[in-house]
Amino acid sequence: MIGRRTALAGMVAMFGTQLFAPIARAAGVFPAGPVPVISQGAPSIQVFTPSQHALMTALSERIIPTTDTPGAIAAGVPAYIEKLLADWAAPDDRKPIVAGLDAIEARSLRDYKLPASRATPEQQDALLTLAMNKEIPHGEDFFEAFRQLVIVGYYTSEIGITQECEYLPVPGEYNGAFPYSQVNKVYSA
């Protein structure tokens, strides 16, 4: 099975020069010395307050929702985000995420009179759209970094690699005439 670090390195090309710094560090793109082993334990520090964690969890599911395949929550993306920000992010790297969550929370309280984590999926989508369109303070920086965290967290998880994509550790023979209608999933290796 492909390792998470190998999958992270593969994701680097997808985002190019706009890659969020903690993802690049975890992938070993610009380490400040030897790249440490990614531990499986709990995050070394608490990054989010309980309300920020609830919002981050809800919004990650809005970026990759459950459909005919599991979504971000089932793939463990919220835990991945917290671990990456705690153990691979510099304090300044966390600022756009935390500031964006706080700005989305304030906008939800203003517009919907309830915490964003308890807003409807449609309201959460509207809040994410406002952030993406720079209509919330810190929105653009938050949205791009958060979207990358969710996508990388999902597609480097076991669920993302094996259920969303077709994982072939050793691809079969080359068949240049393989009918596209028989392709069920995108292949990852």
pLDDT by residue (tens digit) across 140-172? 889 989 999 999 899 888 888 777 776 666 566
With beta carbons less than 8 A apart as the criterion, state whether 81 and 154 touch: no
Q: What DSSP designation does 34 have?
A: S
Task: Provide long-range contacts, Cβ within 8 A and 24+ apart, for 16-19.
Answer: 18/144, 19/148
Instruction: Give the span between the Cα atoms of 150 and 57, in whole angstroms.
Output: 10
* Domain presence at residue 37: no
Structurally, the chain folds into a number of domains equal to 1
Which whole number is the average pLDDT over 36-42?
Answer: 70
Residue that wins the pLDDT comparison between 10 and 116: 116
Confidence (pLDDT) at 43: 87
92 lies in some domain: yes
Domain around 138: 4-28+58-167+180-188
Look at residue 44 and tell me if it is in a domain: no
- 86 inside domain: yes
Least confident of 68-77, 83-92, 106-115, 170-179: 170-179
Q: Is 106 a member of any domain? A: yes
pTM, rounded to two decimals: 0.74
> What mean pLDDT do residues 3-10 have?
55
Q: Which residue has the higher pLDDT, 6 or 80?
A: 80
Percent of the chain whose predicted confidence (pLDDT) is above 90: 47
The tokens for 33 are 């010395």
The answer as to whether 49 is a domain residue is: no
Give domain status of residue 129, yes or no: yes
| Mean pLDDT in residue range 115-125 | 97
